[in-house]
Structure 1
Amino acid sequence: MSHASVSDKRPSTLKGATLPKWFPWAVAAGSLALGYGISAAAGLDSSIQWALIAALLFILGSYGISASVEGRRQAKDRTATSLIFVAFLLAAIPLVSIIYETIKRGVKVLDGYFLSHSMGLVSDTEPGGGIYHALLGTLEQVGIATVISVPIGVLTAIYLVEYGRGKLAKAITFFVDVMTGIPSIVAGLFILSLWIIILDMGYSGFAGSMALCILMLPVVVRSTEEMLKLVPNELREASLALGVPKWRTILKVVLPTSIGGITTGVMLAIARITGETAPLLLLVWVTNFINTNPFKDPQGSLPVYIYLQFQNSGGQGAAYDRAWAAALVLIAFIMILNLVARGIARWKAPKTGR
């Protein structure tokens, strides 16, 4: 047997020592215990301070142990992974805390009666009442804003991607970017000055819908524009090469290919405007009675209902419980919209055959 064949069968010595897979969990457990001990010894009562100390110990411990066993290069990799993990926890903990607190406080009065009755004959200090008038108003106002914004936003995005090449397209892109950063109160003040003060049309759900439309429009344009850009140009060129007109190519090829992403963007835009409060306080005003006509007289809405119940509760009592229950309904509504958007995006995603 030759020397070369013997050397080929020798085990490789290039691979250094490695820590076991359970190493990060062990370091995390040790960091939590040590962080709690340091916090108790220092007299720190805040759980946030304890969590930050434990996170710092976790990062330093991962680097130190890994550097001594695996080397500095692998230690840096583990440190980067630890930083990502800690950042995820820092972002997730407030979200989970909000959801937990809202569910714990909101379920006290959340039932069928609460969803099917208004506050018309109930004062803020009395138990009973519900959010039917506010829920109905929110659905109508957001629905009107969606009906106005989606066609305009989608057609604008189609123009920018498929046709816009000159100064007009640049101007539209600039104004869409500006509208993206407009505070909601500014949109409300604009509609207030134009619709209510100048035109003297009065408070109504439609006035609030127009302000929500201003906030929703740039989100729809931007999300649709990005989805249209993801459609391969080969699909457009193949359709045009077969003699299909450009408008029909957009209608039959481009839009069906990107409809999942467009729908997701629209759903996220709806979720973004559903919780707006400032424009509705200015334009829709306040009422505790059911108003099914969004084009006349003040109308209820969930965000304003939550704000007023919290304001009048003093941190306790029936109004306080109703505010938390309404907040839970609003969160559930937005979560349902996000789930529907994900389902539609997955359903309409282009299928790749083998």
Structure 2
Amino acid sequence: MSVAQLKGRDFLSFADLSLAEMQGLLQLATQMKAGTLHAQCRVGPQQRSPILGLLFSKASTRTRVSFSVAMYQLGGQVLDLNPTVTQVGRGEPIADTARVLDRYLDILAIRTYGQDELQTYADYAQIPVINALTDWEHPCQTLADLLTVQEAFGELAGLTLAYLGDGNNVAHSLLLGCALAGMHVRVATPPDYEPHPEIVAQAQQLAALRAGTGTPTEIVVTHDALAAVEGSQILYTDVWASMGQEGEADDRIPIFQPYQVNETLLAVADPEAIVLHCLPAHRGEEITEGVMEGQQSRIWDQAENRMHAQKALLACLLGFTLIP
């Protein structure tokens, strides 16, 4: 596995990974999930248990719990750094906080709004910094998504993922992750809700690199939900109003209604297609109850895989010894 070079690095964007590193992380997550590979959890000259700091400015269920459980299962410890009860919430400069946390912790996962804030932590802390979600990307989610797809189909390259809804942080990381994996990705959004052109261009560059390996990859941004879904093996959606956009939620419903993942759209996908949702879900809005609870849903496997994918990521960034 090509993961040794990940030791000590940050994971701020899915584009931080090479193809070999992504494949290595997925292989390690698969083995850890199966119990066929374990990580020896000791760091520093005293060979002590490592400490993960969670600095979350946004609400979280899956990200908080999956990171915590993953670290505990690795034998480490977790410190919840709630900004409302630290000096971060009182205006201490990020650079100062980062340099102090660097002296206390072994690794830091941050869930916040701006990617620039995350980058500042990475610039001033020497320990690995993980993007646990920003408004720009959600790379840990995509790592778990690809693990789920790989479990369902065996291989990633050549599959087609259709994402329907808002061109948000999840869509951004999916574009990058699918392009890197050699998967075709079609993003269908209402007009004016497309993913950022910078991310689309970055995904196209990754797809072009894959084309050199004999696996041409299609990157499509469209307003046609039916065309995006037709023949695809993975249907993916997210809430129509992300955290911080709750005031727009009611206004967005009629705009996004044609992009609902429902039985009609699922019928034009590949007969073996699976359905994914990063959760939390608003049943009856972006996805119907029937599809979410149907036989083609892999949403609960996807949620579980957050823990396994992040366990592999933590082990690699901390440079743990892997033991069969």
Q: Which has the larger radius of gyration?
A: 1
* TM-score normalised by the chain length of structure 2: 0.23
* TM-score normalised by the chain length of structure 1: 0.22
Indicate the structure with greater strand content.
Answer: 2
Indicate the structure with greater helix content.
Answer: 1
